[in-house]
């Protein structure tokens, strides 16, 4: 099947790395593995984050112009399906619905959120567009079960399918002995202590809140030996480093890492800890597990779809500092449990959260 793919929030070709760009690329890879011919329809970004109705109206107008161009381009050899990734009120799809209608092809969405409270206010135009797009969608793939409840009244459960987050586990199949000795020497880290890894961008609001909570959690296990390795960078780096100032002798900030270097870092470490404040599902948690690391996080939003509590990691029932610290302590003091959970984490990703597994789910489309 020929598929026109589009990501209104951030195209897979966008210059800035992010989890959203990563998932868009993975979806294109999974669709190709499923036997479909996938073409990026446009890199037009519809995101408007300030709540400016005039700017949203301008983006809608631009979308209408691009849609007309696409319809003309596709008229001789139209795609057989339009596939949009990540739809929400700040980044509505101004292209897919009109192109799909004009060409009379099915319209499919993967990952969408719908908040009725946005029907009024500064993003009302984007909310209205998302509502209309979801109503015409032949299928809506939810990457998190957390989204299903809000979408079901609008879409109908019969058109909703669960597509759990996934990645290519082959990227993370490194052995600890291939990376730990060199990192230990390079960073002057004791090999005998457990290494905790975090991989997250350093942005204001939710990411910064997670970093600050992590610093408090780790302070509660300061009586135990451990080191923290942080992969990430961004405009809030100063605030992140300040949060860890009381623990600075135990923390190494490595900056943003390319995929290969990040995979090697995961392999060298023993445990991944990330509170996950308002995290949609957490691709970094999936990456860590693919590398054979157990995870400590919170059982909120889509994280339970990524981490199997008690099997591949330990999830606190809420963003509770003491509960998270208790779970970190349980794994720091028990290397055998860490290893067993790490092995199970790698098996879980390979069997149930791989790009091949996603491709099988995407083989049959409307």
- What whole-number distance in Å separates Cα of residue 18 and Cα of residue 95? 23
Ordered DSSP codes for 55-103: HHHHHHHHHHHHHHHHHHHHSSS--SEEEEEEEBTTB--SSHHHHHHHH
* Distant-in-sequence, close-in-space partners of 102: CB < 8 Å, separation ≥ 6: 67, 71
Which of 147, 163, 179 is where one domain is finished?
Answer: 163
Which of 163, 196, 221 is where one domain is finished?
Answer: 163
The answer to whether residue 83 is domain-embedded is yes
- What whole-number distance in Å separates Cα of residue 90 and Cα of residue 103? 26
Based on the fold, state whether residues 19 and 88 are members of the same structural domain.
Answer: yes
Q: What's the predicted TM-score (pTM) here?
A: 0.88
Based on the fold, state whether residues 253 and 272 are members of the same structural domain.
Answer: yes
Q: Hey, what are 130's tokens? A: 């998302």
Could you tell me the residue range of the domain that residue 323 belongs to? 169-352
Based on the fold, state whether residues 299 and 315 are members of the same structural domain.
Answer: yes
Question: pLDDT by residue for the chain (366 residues), tens digit each?
Answer: 999 999 999 999 998 878 889 899 999 999 999 999 999 999 999 999 999 999 999 999 999 999 999 999 999 999 999 999 999 999 999 999 999 999 999 999 999 988 778 878 899 999 999 999 999 999 999 998 888 888 988 888 899 999 999 999 999 988 888 899 999 999 999 999 999 999 999 999 999 999 999 999 999 999 999 999 999 999 999 999 999 999 999 999 999 998 899 999 999 999 999 999 988 888 999 999 999 999 999 999 889 999 999 999 999 999 999 999 999 999 999 999 999 999 999 999 999 999 999 999 998 787
Based on the fold, state whether residues 143 and 177 are members of the same structural domain.
Answer: no
Which of 112, 133, 163 is where one domain is finished?
Answer: 163
CATH number of 77's domain: 3.40.50.2000
Q: How many domains does the chain have?
A: 2
Own/partner contacts of 314-323, CB < 8 Å, gap of 24 or more, are 319/213, 319/275, 319/276, 319/277, 321/213, 321/216, 321/217, 321/220, 322/220
The Cβ of residue 149 has, within 10 Å, a number of other Cβ atoms equal to: 9
The answer to whether residue 258 is domain-embedded is yes
The answer to whether residue 134 is domain-embedded is yes
Helix axes 283-290, 335-352, angle to 10 degrees: 110
**Residue 77: per-residue pLDDT:** 93
Based on the fold, state whether residues 275 and 298 are members of the same structural domain.
Answer: yes
Q: How far is CA 141 from CA 3, 94, 102, 127, 145, in A?
A: 16, 19, 23, 19, 10
The answer to whether residue 60 is domain-embedded is yes
Would you state the torsion angle of the CA atoms of residues 159, 162, 163, 165, taken in this order, to the nearest 10 degrees?
140
Q: Hey, what are 174's tokens? A: 């490194």
């Amino acid at each position: 099947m020929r598929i026109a793919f589009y990501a209104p929030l951030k195209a897979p070709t966008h210059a800035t790395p992010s989890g959203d760009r990563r998932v868009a690329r993975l979806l294109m890879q999974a669709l190709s593995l499923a036997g479909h011919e996938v073409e990026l329809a446009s890199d037009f970004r519809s995101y408007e984050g300030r709540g400016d109705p005039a700017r949203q109206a301008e983006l809608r107008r631009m979308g209408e112009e691009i849609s007309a161009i696409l319809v003309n381009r596709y008229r001789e050899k139209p795609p057989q399906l339009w596939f949009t990734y990540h739809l929400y009120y700040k980044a509505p799809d101004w292209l897919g619905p009109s192109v799909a209608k004009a060409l009379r092809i099915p319209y499919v969405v993967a990952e969408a959120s719908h908040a009725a409270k946005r029907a009024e206010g500064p993003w009302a135009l984007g909310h209205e567009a998302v509502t209309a797009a979801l109503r015409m969608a032949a299928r809506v793939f939810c990457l998190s079960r957390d989204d299903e409840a809000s979408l079901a009244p609008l879409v109908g459960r019969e058109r909703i399918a669960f597509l759990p987050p996934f990645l290519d586990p082959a990227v993370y199949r490194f052995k600890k002995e291939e990376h730990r000795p060199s990192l230990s020497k390079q960073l002057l880290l004791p090999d005998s202590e457990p290494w905790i890894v975090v991989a997250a961008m350093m942005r204001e609001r939710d990411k910064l809140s997670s970093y600050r909570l992590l610093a408090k959690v780790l302070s509660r296990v300061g009586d135990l030996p451990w080191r923290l390795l942080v992969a990430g960078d961004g405009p809030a780096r100063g605030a992140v480093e300040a949060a860890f100032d009381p623990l600075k002798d135990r923390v190494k900030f490595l900056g943003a890492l390319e995929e290969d270097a990040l995979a090697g870092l995961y392999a060298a470490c023993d445990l991944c800890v990330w509170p996950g404040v308002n995290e949609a599902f957490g691709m970094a948690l999936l990456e860590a597990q693919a590398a054979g690391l157990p995870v400590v996080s919170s059982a909120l939003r889509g994280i339970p779809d990524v981490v199997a509590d008690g099997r591949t990691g330990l999830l606190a029932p809420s963003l509770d500092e003491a509960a998270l610290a208790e779970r970190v302590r349980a794994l720091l003091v028990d290397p055998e449990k860490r290893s067993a959970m790490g092995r199970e984490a790698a098996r879980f990703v390979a069997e149930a959260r791989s790009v091949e597994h996603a491709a099988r789910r995407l083989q049959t489309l409307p």
